[in-house]
Structure 1
Amino acid sequence: MSTNSFDTSWHVSVAAESITAYLFARVGYDVSVQYGANQPEYDLMIAKGDTVMKVSVKGSKDGGWALTAKYKNSEVSYYDAIDLWLAKHSKKTVFSLVQFINTDIYEIPRVYLATPNEIANLMKTARNGLGDTVLRENKTWTGNMYVPDVIPKDWLFSESRIIQLTNSVK
């Protein structure tokens, strides 16, 4: 039985941040958590030796992260909304995308790491290149006019992915 009985989006956020902090600590990184509400740009700072990285954490219990929805309206295209979102983020920040859908209480959710550019590029390919406001973990569209939207497997949290990202954000 899968349980996603979070009471509020705040609970999802707290759980996602905690899982991300745990995973970085588990592979030997020091983790600093920003204190207070509505922190700008990032939630965690991780460090190991001379390597330091800012991490923005996004949690989801429904299969996707509505990252650019607030930028999209009738006058703003999907691509433009994605570009507006991208402009708000430092190229030195990495996102931790935590997905709780279809996980049991005793399981660690799936965690992906990606740069803002990687996320923006993937969102622009959504719906056969039409773009979307939601980054979806694995969405198979109805009908055969769309190919599935899937997060790349190499984004999964791993030590090699962390090293790849820390090298790219220097």
Structure 2
Amino acid sequence: GVRPLMKNSWHVATAAEAIAAAQFARCGWDVSVQYGANQPEYDLMAVCGDNAIKVSVKGSKDGGWGLTQSFIANADYHGAVDKWLAKHSKKTVFCFVQFKDLQLHEMPRLYLATPTEIADWLKRSAAGRGDTILWENRTWTKRAQAAGTTDRIPDSWRFTSERLQHLASTA
């Protein structure tokens, strides 16, 4: 039979990091990849001329990226986001790679965002309650507090050369 693609989180993380590195290279950036168990908060270092950014790569195959769940206590979603944000350098750029609903020959969807942008988005999600997961496109069902609302990553976060240049110039 057909073997499932990316059987575990290691496969997702490895594929996401490789694809992210390839996208930076396609935009003319030099990329250094870190390997080993004791990595700092970033996975890649991308350099173009005088611009250098640290990139934290997050892969997903289910439509969302769990970010702040280890910081949550007493359903305080906003507090969890604040604790998460405090652990990240403002100079780090996150690259989100989404494999959900893709065939092998299709490119995953990639997004670039700063920790501050992500924190603001997480606090506004679920109709302002906040969430621990950054959803690519999530419509809340009637059982949820945010029933009938949809959380969708801003189009402005799409990985484009222009978005990359903008983030590099402000990092």
Which bracket does the TM-score occupy, shorter chain normalised? over 0.9
- Deviating beyond 4 angstroms after TM superposition, the runs of 4 or more aligned structure 1 residues are none
Q: Which amino acid aligns with 2:156?
A: D
Aligned mates of 2:169, 2:4 — CA distance in 1: 35
Instruction: Report the equivalent of 2:21.
Output: 21
Superposition map of 1:70-85 within 5 A: 70-74=70-74, 77-85=76-84
1:58 aligns with 2:37: no
- Deviations along 1:106-138, whole A, 9 cap, x unmatched? 111000000000000000011100000101000
Which one scores higher on RCO, CA 8 angstroms, separation ≥ 6?
A: 1
Instruction: Report the equivalent of 1:165.
Output: 167
Q: Which amino acid aligns with 2:161?
A: E
Aligned mates of 2:122, 2:147 — CA distance in 1: 17
RMSD: 1.4
Aligned mates of 2:32, 2:133 — CA distance in 1: 28
1:111 aligns with 2:126: no
The 1:36–1:167 alpha-carbon spacing in structure 2 relative to 1, beyond 3 Å, is: same
Identity of aligned residues (%): 55
| Structure 2, gaps ≥5 residues long | none
Instruction: Report the equivalent of 2:150.
Output: 148
Aligned mates of 2:4, 2:44 — CA distance in 1: 24
Q: For the Cα contact (< 8 Å) 1:4–1:101, is it kept in 2?
A: no
Q: For the Cα contact (< 8 Å) 1:136–1:150, is it kept in 2?
A: yes
Q: Which amino acid aligns with 2:37?
A: A
The 1:160–1:4 alpha-carbon spacing in structure 2 relative to 1, beyond 3 Å, is: farther
Structure 1 position 60, deviation (Å)? 0.4
Structure 1 position 8, deviation (Å)? 1.2
